Structure formats: structure tokens, C-alpha cells
């Protein structure tokens, strides 16, 4: 297939693009390189540097025709979204509207979109199914939910084949590609920095949650398992339908359990500090993944230890990330 991957110079987009290239697809990565890395664009993929807010550039990139689009390009920092909501409505909603306009004009009728469990806000029922009410608690979640709804409307009105994949906590690496964010805010890369000695300590944000050990519980999913789901979603997308799937392992781990797993996998010790809760962090987010298992015929295969081992190996091989 001829496929466009927006945000294909970012963490998840690059790893999906790499898989598509490996199976023989003709892949073009479109990325502004605002937060992505040129070195993350997988070998064998074409590259167009463009911002989705530049509609003319997007039209030009899509004009040659594609069988489908995998849309990863987005802003994804919760705190930033609370401080600067306009950035998130522009960067996630307006940018996607441009992409959909250009797709319609070019006759491209298939899209797989990176949505998020942040669309569920503070869910009433955990494990979280796709039927959980969508009530985001920050502008990041609101902007992603707005795109999910745009896709549903476009599917109804114009016959678009659309799938939204709602990611839980993605981790791991797939050499030579890995996770390199600036600033880094995610738990596993931060603990690995502490294990490597480039960070003085790791903080546990909140030790008084109503969870077995008092720290917050999340559902971690290996980026390889996540990537595989995108290939399946691309196949299963049907014209005139918008389907939503939660992508998580279905198992929750507390912050303390993740810290213990890093100690076990890396054999390194490091300082741990207990801090206040981070505002807006729900106690427990775990996916119900029955719909993805049935609808996508997808099964997550990699464990938390695999994610940590792969992320650790990537860090060891690329101590400065992509900037080296």
C-alpha cells in the first residue's frame, strides 16, 4: 500500500512507519520536526517536512495519492495543554481538519488516528471500555476527543473509513528507534534516567491513592504491540464507519511496581522520593481491551519487563537520544 504517516518522526509514528516499510509498503513520512527527529524517520521511507497547519503544503504532499493515512502528528503534553489550550485546539484539531480537507480533495478515504485514554478523563468504571463516557479533564483530552468526533462525522457524511486507537501508557523501543522527548514527562523514561545516573532521583507523584500500595496505577503497553494494532486497524477500517478501540494490556501496575521492575531489569539502584499527587492524575487507568482483541484480532504479547528492557537497551545504545 501507499501510506502517509503524519508524525512519523516521533516516537510511535516512527516505529509504525518502520513496520510498514519492513512489510513492503510505500511509506511517506510527513512531519514538521517541531518535536520529531529527522533521524527517527525510518530508512526506506520518503520524507516531507511540513506542518499540518500549512494547508497548501499538506495539499501538495497528498496530491500524489495514497491508499491511507496514519495520523500521529500531535501535541501531547497534558500540562502544556492546560496552560495553553489554544495551542492544542490549533495543533490537534485545526491541523487534523486541514489533513481531512486535503484527504477529501485527493480522494483518500482511510485513516487510523492516535487517540488517547485521556478522552475518558476520570472514569467511573475501571477497566475502561469504549462505552465509558468521554469526559476529558484537560485540553489535550478535549482536543483528541474533538478529532474522534470529527472522524465519526466525516465517516457518516463522506464515507471515510476511520479508526481511532485510544492508547494507554506506551513504553519500550524498537532498535534503532526509541522514545526521546524534550521535555520528558513519562514515568518509564524518567526512571531509566535515574537508573542511568543522569537524574538524581525519581519522584513518586502521590502515595495516598486508593490503590494497594498508595501509588497510581496505569496500564503499560509495548510500542511494538501498539504498532501491530495500527496495521490491523488499517485493514479493518470500513468506509462509512468510525470505530474506536482501547489499546492497553488490560493489566495495571502501580508507580512503585514499575520502579521495582526497573530495579530488577536494569540491576541498578537509585533514589526514590515521595511527593504530592500531580494535579489531574486519576488513581487508576486500566484498559478493557476485549473490543480490540475481538475486532482487530489483536493480542498484546510483551510484558512490562520487556518494555523496560527494550527502553533500557535503547538508552544504552543512544545515551543522548537522537541528538547524538
| Site residues (CB under 6 A) for ligand UDP, limited to 238-267 | 255
Residue 281 interacting with ligand UDP (CB under 6 A): yes
The minimum distance between CB 161 and ligand UDP, in angstroms, equals: 28
Alpha-carbon distance 277 to 217, whole Å? 13
Is residue 213 near ligand UDP by the rule CB under 6 A?
no
Q: Give the chain's largest Cα–Cα span.
A: 56
Name, in order, each residue with C-beta under 8 angstroms of 133's C-beta and a sequence gap of 6 or more: 120, 124
Give the interface segment with ligand UDP, choosing from 150-158, 203-211, 295-303, 311-319 (CB under 6 A).
203-211
Q: Annotated catalytic, 245?
A: no
Residue 169 within binding range of ligand UDP, rule CB under 6 A: yes
SS3 299: coil
Chain position carrying cell 488499517: 234
- Report the nearest approach of ligand UDP to the CB of residue 106 (Å): 34
Indicate whether 199 belongs to the interface with ligand UDP (CB under 6 A): no
For the CB of residue 168, give the shortest distance to ligand UDP in the complex, in Å: 8
Residue 196, interface with ligand UDP (CB under 6 A)? Answer: no
Give how far Cα 287 sits from Cα of 34, 78, 112, 165, Å: 31, 19, 19, 12
Which one of 9, 16, 216, 307 is in contact with ligand UDP (CB under 6 A)? 216
Name which position in 37, 218, 230, 315 contacts ligand UDP (CB under 6 A).
218
Instruction: Please tell me the distance from the alpha carbon of residue 149 to that of residue 90, in angstroms, as a whole number.
Output: 16
Question: Which one from 11, 88, 120, 140 is the annotated catalytic residue?
Answer: 140
Contact residue for ligand UDP among 22, 133, 156, 185 (CB under 6 A): 185
Of 205, 211, 213, 274, the residue at the interface with ligand UDP (CB under 6 A) is 205
The sign of the torsion formed by the CA atoms of 319, 185, 178, 13 equals negative
Q: Strand 217-218 relative to strand 253-254: parallel, antiparallel, unpaired?
A: antiparallel
Handedness of CA 319, 320, 322, 324 (dihedral sign): negative
| 3 state SS for 166-182 | EECEEECCECCECCCCC
Least distance in angstroms from the C-beta of 280 to ligand UDP: 9
Q: Which residues make up the interface to ligand UDP (CB under 6 A)?
A: 169, 185-187, 190, 202-205, 216, 218, 255, 278, 281
As annotated, the active-site residues are 140
Amino acid at each position: 500500500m501507499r501510506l502517509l504517516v503524519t508524525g512519523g518522526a516521533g516516537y510511535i509514528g516512527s516505529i509504525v512507519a518502520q513496520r510498514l516499510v519492513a512489510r513492503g509498503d510505500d511509506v511517506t513520512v510527513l512531519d514538521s520536526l517541531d518535536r520529531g527527529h529527522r533521524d527517527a524517520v525510518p530508512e526506506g521511507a520518503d520524507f516531507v517536512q511540513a506542518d499540518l497547519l500549512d494547508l497548501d503544503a499538506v495539499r501538495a504532499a497528498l496530491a500524489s495519492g495514497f491508499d491511507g493515512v496514519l495520523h500521529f502528528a500531535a501535541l501531547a503534553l497534558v500540562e502544556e495543554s492546560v496552560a495553553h489550550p489554544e495551542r492544542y485546539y490549533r495543533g490537534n484539531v485545526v491541523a487534523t481538519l486541514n489533513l481531512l480537507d486535503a484527504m477529501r480533495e485527493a480522494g483518500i478515504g482511510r485513516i487510523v488516528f492516535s487517540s488517547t485514554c485521556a478522552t475518558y478523563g476520570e472514569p467511573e468504571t475501571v477497566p475502561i471500555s469504549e462505552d465509558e463516557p468521554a469526559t476529558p479533564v484537560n485540553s489535550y483530552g478535549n482536543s483528541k476527543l474533538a478529532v474522534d468526533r470529527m472522524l465519526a462525522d466525516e465517516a457518516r457524511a463522506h464515507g471515510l473509513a476511520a479508526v481511532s486507537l485510544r492508547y494507554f501508557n506506551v513504553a519500550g523501543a524498537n532498535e534503532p528507534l526509541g522514545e526521546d522527548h524534550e521535555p520528558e514527562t513519562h514515568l518509564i523514561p524518567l526512571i531509566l534516567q535515574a537508573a542511568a545516573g543522569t537524574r538524581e532521583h525519581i519522584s513518586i507523584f502521590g502515595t495516598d491513592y486508593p490503590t494497594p500500595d498508595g501509588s497510581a496505577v496505569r496500564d503499560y503497553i509495548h510500542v511494538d504491540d501498539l504498532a501491530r494494532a495500527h496495521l490491523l486497524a488499517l485493514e479493518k477500517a470500513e468506509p462509512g464507519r468510525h470505530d474506536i478501540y482501547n489499546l492497553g494490556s488490560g493489566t495495571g501496575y502501580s508507580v512503585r511496581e514499575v520502579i521495582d521492575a526497573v530495579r530488577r531489569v536494569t540491576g541498578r539502584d537509585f533514589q526514590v522520593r515521595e511527593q504530592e499527587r500531580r494535579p489531574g492524575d486519576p488513581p487508576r487507568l486500566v484498559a478493557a481491551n476485549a473490543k480490540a482483541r475481538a475486532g482487530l484480532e489483536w493480542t498484546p504479547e510483551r510484558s512490562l519487563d520487556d518494555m523496560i528492557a527494550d527502553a533500557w537497551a535503547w538508552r544504552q545504545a543512544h545515551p543522548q537520544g537522537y541528538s547524538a
